Structure 1
């Protein structure tokens, strides 16, 4: 059963950058793993809260991007959090499939250890 998010929240109270964007970090509800970071604008925040489908703003395409719309790797919103400065968001999600466009579970698959890059996970097939 999908959680309903009521729209009494005023997205205008968030602190957006000069381009009208705010960073949104996606975290897996089950594991707590950080999956990705993407950008939202006021309307994508409102769409996310109204639909329960995480909607980002694509800077390269200059359009809305519902996560998983084309890949099937959807993010169902579980919780929506605002940081203390109101300039960053945490979207807690139920992730279906990989979150990263490289077909990895997380976009944060490269670590720097002892000055060297280490790949932590391979793409899912």
Structure 2
């Protein structure tokens, strides 16, 4: 696969990958991929990630069914990060939000606010 030849993986064999919603361009999540995850993603058209906490390959949405269909793939000038533009089904965040970046930091008050609305109830999805 030509893409793998252009990429620079870290010492653990991983590369950070930004997942972006094709609807409006909002960042949905940041994940890590190894070569197997990239190959499986390209092969199936569905985002696969390497779960560092579980030390295993998984398809995004494995439990929830909230899959991400790949529309476009970009890599940066040094080949050390990826961007996947996806069609997101329901939500990317396990906390119930469409994006994992649902909290906004407010520097003037050194506080944060919830900047998104929940789109599903995680207690019902992750029993």
TM-score, normalised to structure 2, is: 0.87
Among residues 3, 17, 26, which one is paired with 1:24 in the alignment? 17
1:40-89 alpha-carbon deviations (Å, 9 max, x no partner): 00111111111101100000111111011220111000011101111010
Q: Is the 8 A contact 1:68 1:74 kept in 2?
A: yes
Matching residue of 1:76: 69
Q: CA deviation at 1:13?
A: 2.9
Q: Is the 8 A contact 1:80 1:92 kept in 2?
A: yes
- C-alpha distance in structure 2 between counterparts of 1:104 and 1:31, whole Å: 16
Residue 118 of structure 1 pairs with residue 120 of structure 2? no
- C-alpha distance in structure 1 between counterparts of 2:30 and 2:97, whole Å: 14
Q: CA deviation at 1:95?
A: 0.1
- C-alpha distance in structure 2 between counterparts of 1:30 and 1:10, whole Å: 25
User: Which structure has greater helix proportion?
Assistant: 2
Residue 87 of structure 1 pairs with residue 80 of structure 2? yes
RMSD of Structure 2 on Structure 1 (CA):
1.2
- C-alpha distance in structure 2 between counterparts of 1:97 and 1:34, whole Å: 14
Q: Is the 8 A contact 1:53 1:66 kept in 2?
A: yes
Matching residue of 2:31: 38
